[in-house]
Amino acid sequence: MKKIKLDISRATDMTNIMKYAKKVQDIHNKMESYESLGNEFLGWKDLPNNIDIHDIKKMELIANQLHQNKIEVLVVIGIGGSYLGVKAGIDFILGNLPTPQERKMEVIFAGESLSSTDLAQKLKYVENKKFAINVISKSGTTTEPAIAFRMFKKLLEDTIGKNNAKDYIIATTDANKGSLFQLANDNGYKKFVIPDNIGGRFSVLTPVGLFPFACVGLNIKKMISGAKLANEDYSIGSLEDNLAYQYAVTRFLLWKERGFVSEMIVAYEPNVNFFLEWWKQLFGESEGKLNKGLLPHSAIFSTDLHSLGQFIQEGSKVLFETVITVKKPIIDLEIVDDKDNLDNLNYLINRSVHEINNVAFQATLDAHSSIGQVPNIHIELPELNEESFGAIVMFFERAVSMSAYLLEVNPFNQPGVEVYKSNMFRIMKKPS
Amino acid sequence: MKKIKLDISRATDMTNIMKYAKKVQDIHNKMESYESLGNEFLGWKDLPNNIDIHDIKKMELIANQLHQNKIEVLVVIGIGGSYLGVKAGIDFILGNLPTPQERKMEVIFAGESLSSTDLAQKLKYVENKKFAINVISKSGTTTEPAIAFRMFKKLLEDTIGKNNAKDYIIATTDANKGSLFQLANDNGYKKFVIPDNIGGRFSVLTPVGLFPFACVGLNIKKMISGAKLANEDYSIGSLEDNLAYQYAVTRFLLWKERGFVSEMIVAYEPNVNFFLEWWKQLFGESEGKLNKGLLPHSAIFSTDLHSLGQFIQEGSKVLFETVITVKKPIIDLEIVDDKDNLDNLNYLINRSVHEINNVAFQATLDAHSSIGQVPNIHIELPELNEESFGAIVMFFERAVSMSAYLLEVNPFNQPGVEVYKSNMFRIMKKPS
């Protein structure tokens, strides 16, 4: 398998980051011996080695059953970590157009908002289609997915009867407790387990992501093997040899020593857009504590060069960029000849579109970093496939943990998310 | 028509912003007499009064012809200002699910990236569908849309023949010049005009947006009348009476006097997501010059409360929020009863989902602004319909112009965007 590449030369240099080698090694050792802050949530670290092949087979089996029963739409109900990674993985490989031929069924997402308009439009969308529900929630009582699940469940039961509906509802939840666990047991839904030692934003390679991935036809075994191989590289304590840690230290330096307040992660592939949303949760929730952390931002180039590009080039100098490019596109195209050449594109006819995309990357790298004085970190993925997805997930999960420990915050909690929730329950007079 | 409301009380107060009343009046007077910086691009200011009813009728006529000819997909080809506003307007009212029953045809977007994978997936998507093309470009030589147009044009011509294809290609371009203008003339495409005195990011209420809006079945007359009515309120020079200027001054104060570096615009309706992308271009490109301006950021709540929420609540204190809520949802839903109540939601059964969304807004407003010390500006839209869209577009176009003038930059140019482009042409050896 080709590996992920990292280039930090337009942000700092190795001499500079090696000042942190001992600190990184110390944090690493603490993580490896489960003595670090939040150590009860370090399960993601060894996940690719711990996945049970029987679970994989069960996921593939149920996905196939849905497919054979001609399910057109899988409604995935979840929020935050039970939503972002799932959509990130599907779009990463299949793109975000509705039902391209490659996927076995369409996936839509619900329970990630409280908009009645959005929920009603989604309920209407599946009304005359054969749909199944995968509800993902550790507790089953998070307001957004709980409301959506109640509504979609009712629609399904009203359409095909309660007894049939149970065969088209799959719950991904706690192994032993919680209201969704209870509901699934009482109604005979099929169940998958969210492990206790893995927090929401680190859960994409558990059944949270893997089951929907299997449903659209992705190869989840390859995804795990990609994660496993990459994980070997990111599980070593030597900063000199660990790219995930080098990335973590570089961004820490830019924050601490050079005063940048925001990291804009950028990709040149629209398919990666939602992966960047996943990344924003991963970094924002893991770091944003005790008035610390880089404000996570994202963009897709070249489209946003015609939007945020002006600000990056010439606006306030508050951000640096982390740019993701892809070595080998899923599909390449040649610029077609046109004898009229009224659009003046004929000078490109022996080039491929991917090559031109790479030129845009090179041109922008120079424009932003040299002329615009915006530091740049470059990450190159080998491909947009299952292996690469598994690998880049492990890269960032490892990096964010190191990064939060460098900031001296717990990477694995999110106490601030509770504030709006408890306010809400107070206003709505939720019975305790 | 109900009006847009603005609440700045959680960010500053009227006494504070009224310090700028004279400055605002002066800038306003200069704009009104076309003496301000970039005055050749002030056309947006009087646009709703200057739209020709014949143009509207022509757009509706051609849209109807496409509909009668059973066009399933309209491929809109454009980038930046020829893309963001179009998608913003459609999603605002119809949502972003593929082909809900309400719309006359599906719209997909191309030419907004250089990804070969993305372009190939989109070409494949329309391969067996009846599609038309609306190519939007002032010059016709911007690389991204020019490449996409060449590819989609070839596909269409290969499928139905060059002679038939011309009836399904509509060019929105310059009135008299440029390569797309020429191409359209030579091939007999139908044409719409992008006025000279309106820049890309201000062009959504010209045929750039209006024609695709007509194609999906939106009422463009209502959109214009909403813009026209709102524009009366935003065309007065008195800060005390002009909400758009009050918004501009409030955010300027937060930047200048209180040192905030980023504005996060937030909506509680997923349908508004792409409108926020449009807003990011509008503010980022208009302000981001001479090392000035607020970094534009966006989020959708409550979904991103489970992502960026932690950072906003407890992370670095670098941003303030501007929150858009909607008074009346397009559709509301009641929480359905469930006798088992395993999800503990029965305490909500006499409430509507929209009401709960409002509770989330109130709860978060308090959590972020009081507890998290994040200043908050609140904008309430009456509805998610054509009139509201027209009105909020005028609100922000007016506000961003004032805002850029307060920063002493030209709101209407984007010199930084040229840097990557000229680098690109150099690398690709474009003939001059």
Per-residue pLDDT tens digits for A152-187: 999 999 999 999 999 999 999 999 999 999 999 999
What pLDDT shows up at residue B100? 62
Average model confidence (pLDDT) for chain A?
95
CB contact under 8 A, A424 and B363: yes
What count of Cα atoms within 13 Å lies in the side-chain half-sphere of residue B4? 30
Chain B's closest residue to A109, CA to CA, is B97
Query: What whole-number distance in Å separates Cα of residue A410 and Cα of residue A134?
Result: 31
The 10 Å Cβ neighbour count of residue A241 is 11
DSSP annotation of B2 reads: P
Q: Residue B141: closest CA among chain A residues belongs to which residue? A: A343
Q: Are residues A363 and B423, on separate chains, in Cβ contact within 8 Å?
A: yes
pLDDT value of position A108: 94
Looking at residue A141, its pLDDT comes to 86
| Cα angle B125-A209-A105, degrees, rounded to a multiple of 5 | 35
Please give the helix or strand (H or E) that residue B10 lies within, else none: strand B5-10
pLDDT reported for residue A95: 87
Amino acid identity of residue A312, one-letter, is I
CA dihedral A44, A45, A47, A50 (to 10 degrees): -140
Q: What is the mean pLDDT of residues A344-365?
A: 94
Contact B309 A271 (CB under 8 A): no
**Chain B residues within an 8 Å CB radius of A344:** 141, 146, 179, 430-431
Question: Which distant-in-sequence residues (6+ apart) come within 8 Å of A254 by Cβ?
Answer: A11, A12, A260, A263, A294, A320, A375
Minimum CA–CA partner of A320 in chain B: B295
Find out whether B330 and B322 touch, Cβ atoms under 8 Å.
no
Residue A309 has pLDDT above 90, yes or no: yes
Q: How far is residue A174 CA from its own chain's centroid?
A: 21
Q: CB distance A313–B342 less than 8 Å?
A: no
- The pLDDT of residue B329 is 93
How many Cβ contacts (< 8 angstroms) between chains A and B?
437
Q: Which of A297, A238, A286, A293 is nearest to A263 (CA)?
A: A297
Residues of B in contact with A85 (CB under 8 A): none
Burial class (CB in 10 A: 0-12, 13-18, 19+), A248: buried
- Report chain B residues whose CB lies below 8 A from the CB of A141: 343-344
CB-count exposure of residue A15 (10 Å: 0-12, 13-18, 19+): exposed
User: Stretch A308-329: mean pLDDT, rounded?
Assistant: 97
Q: Is A238 exposed, middle or buried (0-12, 13-18, 19+ CB in 10 A)?
A: exposed
For chain B, give percent helix, strand, coil, nearest 5: 55, 15, 30
* DSSP secondary structure letters along B147-203: HHHHHHHHHHHHHH-HHHHGGGEEEEE-SS-SHHHHHHHHHT-EEEE--TTS-GGG-
Task: Look at residue A350 in the predicted model and tell me its pLDDT.
Answer: 84
Select which of A269, A285, A287, A387 is catalytic: A285
Q: Which residues of B touch A115 (CB under 8 A)?
A: 268-271, 329, 353-354, 357
Q: With bands split at pLDDT 50, 70 and 90, how would you rate the model's confidence at A100? A: low
Q: Catalogue the E-assigned strands of A137-255.
A: 169-173, 190-193
- Which residue among A122, A143, A270 places its CB closest to the CB of B97? A122
CA angle B350, B356, B360 (to 5 degrees): 155
pLDDT of amino acid A101 = 63
Q: Is the peptide bond before A262 cis (omega within 30 degrees of 0)?
A: no
From the CA of A81, how many Å to the nearest CA of chain B? 8
Q: How far apart are CA B235 and CA B28, in angstroms?
A: 8
Smallest CA–CA distance, residue B197 to chain A, in Å, is 19
- Identify all chain A residues contacting B101, using CB atoms and an 8 Å cutoff: 124
Q: Which helix (H) or strand (E) holds B379?
A: strand B376-383
Contacts of B319 in chain A (CB under 8 A): 295
Q: What are the CB-based long-range contacts (under 8 Å, 24+) for B160-168?
A: B168/B66, B168/B69, B168/B71, B168/B131, B168/B132, B168/B133
Residue B272 — left, alpha, or beta (φ > 0 → left; ψ -120 to 50 → alpha)?
Answer: alpha
Q: Do B353 and A115 touch (CB under 8 A)?
A: yes
Between chains, do A314 and B288 touch, taking CB under 8 Å as contact?
yes
- What is the C-alpha separation between B173 and B191, in angstroms, rounded? 7
Distance from CA of A52 to the nearest CA of B (A): 29
pLDDT, residue B189, reads: 97
Residue in A with minimal Cα distance to B305: A417
At A170, list the tokens: 């799959």
Examine the residue annotation and report whether A306 is marked as an active-site residue of this protein: yes
Per-residue model confidence (pLDDT) at position A273 = 97
Distance from CA of B412 to the nearest CA of A (A): 12
Residue A340 pLDDT more than 90? no
- pLDDT tens, A19-57? 999 999 999 999 999 999 999 999 999 999 999 999 999
In which residue ranges of chain B is pLDDT below 50? none
Nearest to A262 among B262, B270, B420 (CB): B262
Asked whether the predicted pLDDT for residue A103 surpasses 90, the reply is no
What are the catalytic residues of B? 285, 306, 421
Looking at beta carbons, which residues of chain B come within 8 Å of A308? 280-281, 284, 288, 296
Inspect the interface and report whether the beta carbons of A314 and B114 lie closer than 8 Å.
Answer: no
Nearest to A312 by CA among B295, B200, B405, B283: B295
What is the distance of C-alpha B405 from the center of its chain?
Answer: 21
- Report the phi/psi class of residue B271: left, alpha or beta, with left for phi > 0 and alpha for psi in -120 to 50: alpha
Q: Which of B317, B324, B316 is nearest to B298 (CA)?
A: B324
Closest chain A CA to residue B143: A345
**Cα A413–Cα A416–Cα A422 angle in degrees, nearest 5:** 115
* pLDDT value of position B112: 95
Mutate which of A97, A114, A373 to test chain B, going by most B C-beta atoms within 10 A? A114
* pLDDT tens track for A211-260: 999 999 999 999 999 999 999 999 999 999 999 999 999 999 999 999 99
Residue A432: predicted pLDDT: 74
The answer to whether the CB atoms of A343 and B146 lie below 8 A apart is yes
